[in-house]
Amino acid sequence: METLTRGQVFAGFVIDRLLGRGGMGAVYAAHHPRLPRLIALKLLSSQLSDDNYFRARFEREAELAGRLDHPNLVSVLDRGSEGGQLWIAMQLVEGIDGSAALARGEMPDMRAVHLVRETAKALDYAHGFGLLHRDVKPANILVAEPFGPEERVLLGDFGIAKARDESTQLTQAGDMVATLVYASPEQLEGKELDTRSDVYSLGCTFFHLLTGRPPYASDSPMAVMHGHLFAPVPRLSAIRPDLPPALDHVIARVLAKDPNQRYWRCGDFANDITAAFAGAATAPVPQTPVPASRRRPWLLPAALGVAAVAAVGVGAVVVVTGDSSDTATGPTSTTRATTTTSTSAGTTGSPADGYARAQPAIELFPQLVPATENGKGFHDATCNIFHGESPDAQSNFVYTVTCIDRDNLEFKVIAYENPAEASKAKDSLPRSASVDRVSRYGNSVEISKYVGENQVPFIIVGFYDAPQSSYLVEAAWPAHTSDEIVTAWFDVAPI
């Protein structure tokens, strides 16, 4: 598209200067032909203007955006076509956008909170009219002069429709990649969107404003997509330990992979942010994790862990959602043969061997449990080994690797002499339901749901194929149902 120059007339508007250019087109400051004011004139690229699908979608959304009237929304003044090229005239905001303010080091924490709170008002208002933004990011949050505690915040770029084939554009460099780092998982998967997609993008924006980087930053579009779809939600405290701890739980909710676990309204998210900074977050704070050495598998009797009974009763585990690395690519070693000469789950060795005795489990589940007892498992989990020599054990297990991650998720890899013993142990408990599934890494499994002590739900994953069939993976999660455990974990678990 040819760049318009100062003084040139387009659709009656007199061009003043170029404000910016991106993959969708260009934006100019222009003089209104009948009013003594400057407006922002956005011209869509000729290629997109020639696309019938894009034209129809643009016309519809521009019309909807033109009906919106809110102090936190950039007003749409007019729209049309000039020489077959689509354009939209909008309120010009003299000031700075969130991205530029961040780059200039002008983003103190309370300014970030203010920007997100005001943007949330705009989004909830638009959502009430059935309009989704779909491109919430710092660059689209405008701060009008004069700056200060009461500065006016406006959300821009409503009414600019997306191209038909987003999947190809997401792999291109430039603006689309920048937008990609704020896109919701369902948006990347091409699923039907609702308000929770914008909520997710607003959460990514807030994370960026506080930390200086998006939650899944990478130069590779595929790595960014993998982060949104599979990587664990990053913790603010790992980057900014000076921030209120309650924000970790707010971020975990707003960036949940499953939309059903997110906030429905942007205002609710903004309220929890404010409450967190005020020291009274409405988001629930999990109980302090109990050291792994004090917990026991559900499949072991109470005699093996007197101090563990109360701890396990709090609820325990969800097995993980991927490698402790945000860029795990797959279970390349999950089918690798163990180095032990035994065909069982690990009958060689003795309790004196300590954590090293778990080597077969480490090799079969390398992205789930750490290689050493002092290492970190998935999601920063701390792990230790519990040996199965007690005569009180109701199942003939060899050892169990018990892990607790940074979100108080607990998972256990329990090793047995052979598949028959593993099956026997699983069948010794009354299950409420079972279902056959294929894990993310291609293992055929049976997921069984149980209710443990104090009515705490948990699940057990059993394997049909050797050598994993000599193991069970037990999972529980405080204050969550077994269905939530399956939904939140199984589809992305590294097993």
Count of beta carbons in the 10 Å neighbourhood of residue 304: 15
Position 411: which residue type?
F
> Are 161 and 54 a contacting pair, CB within 8 Å?
yes
- Answer yes or no: 50 catalytic: no
* 144's tokens: 């009008």
> Are 68 and 126 a contacting pair, CB within 8 Å?
yes
Spatial CA neighbour of 295 closest among 487, 495, 452, 71: 452
Residue position matching structure tokens 């936190």: 72
Report the length, in residues, of the chain: 495
H helix or E strand, kind and range, residue 333: none
Q: Is residue 449 a known part of a binding site? A: no
CA atoms within 13 A on the CB side of 6: 3
Rounded to 5 degrees, what are φ and ψ at 228? Answer: -60, -40
* 17's tokens: 């200067």
- What residues have CB less than 8 Å from 274, skipping those under 6 apart? 113, 117
DSSP string, 342-405: -SSS--SS-GGGGGGGGHHHHHHSTTTS-SSTTS-BGGGBEEEEEE---TT-SS-EEEEEEEE-
Q: Which of 16, 135, 157, 248 is catalytic?
A: 135
How far is Cα 254 from Cα 234, in angstroms, rounded to an integer? Answer: 12
The CA dihedral of 380, 384, 385, 391, to the nearest 10 degrees, is -120
Would you call 325 exposed, middle or buried from its count of C-beta atoms within 10 A (0-12, 13-18, 19+)?
exposed
* 179's tokens: 């937008």
Rounded to 5 degrees, what are φ and ψ at 25? Answer: 155, -150
Would you call 243 exposed, middle or buried from its count of C-beta atoms within 10 A (0-12, 13-18, 19+)?
middle
> Are 465 and 471 a contacting pair, CB within 8 Å?
no
Binding site feature residues: 42
Tell me the catalytic residues: 135
Binding site feature residues for ATP: 42
